[in-house]
Amino acid sequence: MIDIRLIRTNPELVKENIKKKFQDEKLGLVDEVTEMDTRLREIKAEADGLRSQRNVTSKQIGALLSAGNKPEADAAKASVAGIGQRLTELSREEADLSKSIREKMLVIPNIIDPTVPIGRDESENVEVGRYGEPYEPPFEVPYHVDIMEALDGIELESARSTSGSGFYYLKGGVARLHSAILAYARDFMIDRGFTYYIPPFMIRGNVVTGVMSFAEMENMMYKIEGEDLYLIGTSEHSMIGKFIDTIIDKASLPQALTSYSPCFRKEVGAHGIEERGIYRIHQFEKQEMVVVCEPEDSPAWFEKLYTCTVEFFRTLDIPVRALECCSGDLADLKVKSIDVEAWSPRQKKYFEVGSCSNLGEAQARRLGIRVKGEGQNYFAHTLNNTVVAPPRMLIAFLENNLNEDSTVRIPQPLRMYMGGKAALTK
């Protein structure tokens, strides 16, 4: 959510930003908010004047009664009662207007960073770097489910019986590999100075609307029936949410956190969950990075966060590339975003395994996360990035470390989590 003062002072900049995101249908919101904000300030000015008038008149009532001037005292009482009635009306109008303004402001996109490439959709995202040589083995790489089944490491049919499409059972060595990757990711981030968290896996509605847009909320979140609780789609939701309505001491910034959680996603608009694979699913686990920092430090943290993901994948011998999201592919809360994509030897192309985002003060403004300043408090900046989400990462890992005999090589960093094994076999 942007600052209302920006709409007051520079509405054309806000409109130009909307155009850069190819969301012209939202242009009218700027004028609507401007008009409602003007009326809101008129209401507040009138209410302040009436309160001052009421205070003066109330003090006069006692003096008039003491002087025996009952008719004028009664008139003054009637005036105070009339002011009270008008203040009630203004208060009701002020509450309605404030609610409407907030609802519209939540839909207006955040101001993107000047360096963001302008484009309509993901096809116009810009590659910013490749790390590691794409690997093409001298044998055909099977589909990832076939690799898992050859290792007796996955059950899909039984998961469909218990839960439906978009679920799976991992077993044996593949299940252990899944857990090993998460454990290694945890320690990888702790070694880089991040504080490890296991957060709540359910959050309240006001936290959900604080960390994401309404469109994302509808497409992603599962709501607990009869309660003001939602299953998290990523631990970023509860990790940013933990700072709601807080004033943070400058000395405690930056806060660099890494968190583990299961993640639950409806995947609305996915055009049907793939029956056989585990690329797009309703439930998975993830290691996340979250940073709360000073506004001037967020660009440097953005670079550091996505670099951590690149380094993590490279330690496991997986080639990756970084793509900067263009304006049209950028979620409304984001200032800047880079996707990390892993190489698929089977498909001979890269696919997304993580996303790094700088949200500026958008989440902090929605959730009331402030920094205690010397003169005036101000909003912090928040960032998040995926360290690793094993379902997709597992696909990249298996394809890039597959041997011709259907065994899977275990890179050195993972072996301590795999009981010293150098290869995964059936």
CA distance 42 to 164: 56
Q: Looking at the structure, do residues 57 and 196 belong to the same domain, yes or no? A: no
pLDDT (tens place) for every residue of the chain, 426 residues total:
899 999 999 999 999 999 999 999 999 999 999 999 999 999 999 999 999 999 999 888 888 888 888 888 889 899 999 999 999 999 999 999 999 999 999 999 999 999 999 999 999 999 999 999 998 899 999 999 999 999 999 998 999 899 988 889 999 999 999 999 999 999 999 999 999 999 999 999 999 989 987 677 777 889 999 999 999 999 999 999 999 999 999 999 999 999 999 999 887 554 444 445 677 788 999 999 999 999 999 999 999 999 999 999 999 999 999 999 999 999 999 999 999 999 999 999 999 999 999 999 999 999 999 999 888 999 999 999 999 998 889 999 999 999 999 999 999 999 999 999 999 998
Q: Do 41 and 184 share a domain, yes or no?
A: no
Name the β-bridge partners of 350: 343
40 & 131 share domain: no
- In a domain, residue 117? The reply is no
Q: Which domain holds residue 156?
A: 122-424
Number of domains in the chain: 2
- Give the pLDDT confidence score for residue 273 in this predicted structure: 42
Q: Do 93 and 218 have their domain in common? A: no
Q: Do 136 and 101 sit in the same domain of this protein?
A: no
Beta-carbon contacts of 237 under 8 Å, excluding residues fewer than 6 positions away, are 203, 207, 208, 211, 212
Domain end marker among 48, 71, 105: 105
AA letter at 327: S
41 within domain boundaries: yes
Q: Token match 């009637």: residue?
A: 78
State the Cα–Cα distance between residues 384 and 370, nearest whole angstrom. 18
Long-range CB contacts (within 8 A, 24+) of 405-413: 406/147, 406/150, 406/151, 408/147, 408/151, 408/177, 410/177, 411/315, 411/316, 411/317, 413/184, 413/315, 413/316
Question: Are 370 and 343 in the same domain?
Answer: yes
Does residue 111 lie within any of the structural domains? no
* Angle (nearest 5°) at CA 280 between 279 and 283: 110
Are residues 136 and 95 part of one domain? no
pLDDT value of position 281: 83
Q: Which of 80, 105, 130 is the last residue of a domain?
A: 105
Q: What are phi and psi of 377, to 5 degrees?
A: -70, 150
pLDDT at residue number 70: 85
- According to the model, what pLDDT value does residue 374 have? 84
CATH of the domain at 308: 3.30.930.10
Q: What number of helices (H) and strands (E) belong to the chain?
A: 14, 18
Residues 213 and 320 in one domain: yes
Same-domain pairing of 99 and 127: no
| Within a domain: 115 | no
Residues 173 and 33 in one domain: no
Q: 330: helix, coil or strand?
A: coil
Shared domain for 144 and 67, answered yes or no, is no
Provide the 10 A C-beta neighbour count for residue 369.
24
Look at residue 231 and tell me if it is in a domain. Answer: yes
Strand segments, DSSP code E, in 314-364 are 320-324, 336-344, 349-358
Nearest of 384, 422, 420, 380 to residue 403 by alpha carbon: 422
Please check whether residues 178 and 301 belong to one and the same domain. yes
Give me the pLDDT at residue 272, please. 46
Give the pLDDT score at 268. Answer: 53
The CATH code of the domain that includes 15 is 1.10.287.40
DSSP string covering 237-287: HHHHHTTTTEEEEGGG--EEEEEEEEEE---TTSSS--SS-SSS-SEEEEE
Task: Show Cβ contacts of residue 135 under 8 Å, excluding neighbours closer than 6 positions.
Answer: 319, 343, 345, 400
- Does any domain span residue 116? no
